Amino acid sequence: MNKEYFHSVILRPDLCTGCTVCMQNCPTQAIRIIDGKAKIISEKCIDCCMCLKVCPYNAKTAITDSLIELQQYKYNIALPSLSFYAQFSQKYSKNSINLALKSLGFEQIIDASYYAEVLSVYLKDLSLCNSTVKPIISTYCPAVTRLIQIKNPELIKNISRLESPMEVAARHVRNKIIEEKNISENDIGIFLLSPCPAKITSIKNPIGIDKSSLDGALSIKELFPKILKILLTQRNEEINDLQNFHGELWGRVGGQSKVSKIDKSIVVDGIEEVSKILDMIELGKLDNIDFIEAYSCVGGCVGGPLNVENPFIAKYRIDNRSNSSYPVSNNEIRSNFKFENLCWNKEILPSKIMELDNDISIALKKMEAINALLKKLPGIDCGACGSPSCRALAEDVVQNRAKFTDCIFKKFEGEENEN
Amino acid sequence: MKFEYTISNLNFSTAGEASSNIKKVLKLLGIDSKIIRRAAIATYEAEINIAIHSHGGKIILYIEEDSIKITAIDKGPGIENIELAMKEGYSTATHEIREMGFGAGMGLPNIKKCSNEFSITSEFGKYTKLEITIFI
């Protein structure tokens, strides 16, 4: 995989027809149609995967690692995301799925639900702490964190300092293996089995930390048929399945609040609704709330575009399994994990990508130019020019990213005048 | 530069639009996010006030290099006692409006808190006018 890229979501030009559906649906207006193909403006993309979900031609895809990457390491570890096991029919035990993963080349499988539970304990602490800026916003969905950087930078101070269960799990297990098995750090490969491109981007281009503890990410969608093939040939196995922790509930919307037992929390899913809630926080309307659990995808991580199962069925399976799972004891968590080791440490910075200019007097002049252009445009936001709205085209023209005659109405007018 | 937004009486589906638009404009201009937040809160409270208390009105935004001026003007009924209206928790909103989560009596005091300069004038039975200045 190319380590230099910024986003996991990419376009397959061969399949793109330039139809404008993705451009019209992108919540940060990060897409333009140029020469008949959709282009993502990297700095504006938050990896919410809306384009991937709405593309009628499946022309959007995610860059992921493949199983071949496992050859780079001597000791490979799979880190299934919290919505992973819910992709499989309940007749397959967690144990049998793990055995299938082992036959695909993994030496060890990490149970992320344990680490979600560790974080839940400290999340509850944070919600009770008076010095924390409220409401605390979860960082679990990286697309939400990126949306805050772009659209609501005033809320960066509300972002929870706790890392994701994936980072915490990978770091903890890596250190343990180096210590116990005497394997050198470079020989260990930890791979996320990911439900979404946003988490993959976070490995290559992390926010809040210098370097991810994960080495790569595989798409659940790509792995699923391979695992299923193995499961189908497996014999019936032992009755005692592996233990399951409450933390698996983090795989679906509402899980963080439920496991942390934070009462005053707002749970919101779907990027547009998330954006509205963030605006409400900025207006000071949610000061009485302790915690915001927000997900770009409807349903939470079960709704991730790299999953295979219907999100509502997967959610049902997670809930069902949680009835027979056990919480980890608070004492065990507190003696094994310290708060300061579970936090990101690098400042999260606001993005300035939406600004017209650094200099306000130039920005004002550009704004005047945009308003003047806007009056001349038809105002029907058809998208045929390749920008998502007439306003966006006016802005693109002023910023030298497009021409006024990209507007098909203006183009025809111009041609008529010539004739 | 001037932007104008019309606010109609009791139309809650559009209330908040002026605030959200102003936020976008100020963001494009690269104005500090703390100042944007204050302008957004002041505008939001002002437009909610117009929507719940008045017969309709408008919000006008003027942006200069060193300041943002927000004027909110409505067509009445005006405020009988301005001093009382400025008190935190004082509200004349109806029970129905309160049921909808508005009318907590914090709007005007909040607007004042967000402003560097603030003035309120009203003629009972005619109009209310807020003039809000936030320095950049």
Say if the Cβ atoms of B65 and A371 lie within 8 Å: no
Q: Which of residues A63, A91, A108 is at a domain's end?
A: A63
**What is the number of other CB atoms lying within 10 angstroms of the CB of residue A178?**
14
In this structure, the answer to whether residues A193 and A338 fall within a common structural domain is yes
Say if the Cβ atoms of B65 and A360 lie within 8 Å: yes
DSSP character at residue B55 = S
Say if the Cβ atoms of A364 and B65 lie within 8 Å: yes
In this structure, the answer to whether residues A89 and A129 fall within a common structural domain is yes
* pLDDT, tens digit, 9 for 90 and up, residues A38-55: 999 988 999 999 999 999
Say if the Cβ atoms of B63 and A153 lie within 8 Å: no
Residues B19, A283 contacting (CB under 8 angstroms): yes
Residue A79 lies in a domain: yes
The contacts of residue A278 (CB under 8 Å, 6+ apart) are A137, A147, A148, A151, A152, A155, A294
Whole-Å CA distances, A356 to A231, A373, A398, B29: 55, 15, 9, 6
In this structure, the answer to whether residues A329 and A262 fall within a common structural domain is yes
Residue A307 lies in a domain: yes
* pLDDT, tens digit, 9 for 90 and up, residues A350-362: 998 889 999 999 9
Q: Which of residues A274, A307, A342 is at a domain's end?
A: A342
A284, A361, A368: residue with CB nearest B65 = A361
Buried b (16+ CB within 10 A) or exposed e, B53-74: bbeebbbebebeeeebbbbbbb
Which chain A residues touch B if contact means CB-CB below 8 Å? 151, 153-154, 279, 282-284, 350, 352, 354-358, 360-361, 363-364, 367-368, 371, 395
- Indicate the number of domains in chain A: 3
- CA max distance for chain A: 83
* pLDDT, tens digit, 9 for 90 and up, residues B30-72: 999 999 999 999 999 999 999 988 999 999 999 998 999 999 9
| CATH number of residue B96's parent domain | 3.30.565.10
In this structure, the answer to whether residues A390 and A406 fall within a common structural domain is yes
Confidence of residue A419 (pLDDT cuts 50, 70, 90): low
- Is residue B95 less than 8 Å (CB to CB) from chain A? no
Query: Chain A residues with CB inside 8 Å of B88's CB?
Result: none
Q: What average pLDDT does chain A have?
A: 92
Which residue segment(s) compose the domain that B75 sits in?
2-135
Q: Is the pLDDT of residue B84 over 70?
A: yes
- Is residue B13 less than 8 Å (CB to CB) from chain A? no
Residues B10, B51 contacting (CB under 8 angstroms): yes
Residue A38, beta-bridge partner list: A33
In this structure, the answer to whether residues A58 and A71 fall within a common structural domain is no
ipTM of predicted assembly, 2 dp = 0.87
The more confidently predicted of residues A256 and A9 is A256
Which residue segment(s) compose the domain that A91 sits in?
67-342
In this structure, the answer to whether residues A205 and A91 fall within a common structural domain is yes
| CATH number of residue A373's parent domain | 1.10.15.40
In this structure, the answer to whether residues A126 and A46 fall within a common structural domain is no
Q: Which of residues A48, A63, A78 is at a domain's end?
A: A63
Residue A324 lies in a domain: yes
> Chain A closest CA to B28's CA: distance in Å?
4
In this structure, the answer to whether residues A390 and A366 fall within a common structural domain is yes
How many Cβ pairs closer than 8 A exist between chain A and B? 51
Residue A377 lies in a domain: yes
Mean pLDDT over A53-75 rounds to: 93
- Indicate the number of domains in chain B: 1
Residue A350 lies in a domain: no
Say if the Cβ atoms of B28 and A395 lie within 8 Å: yes
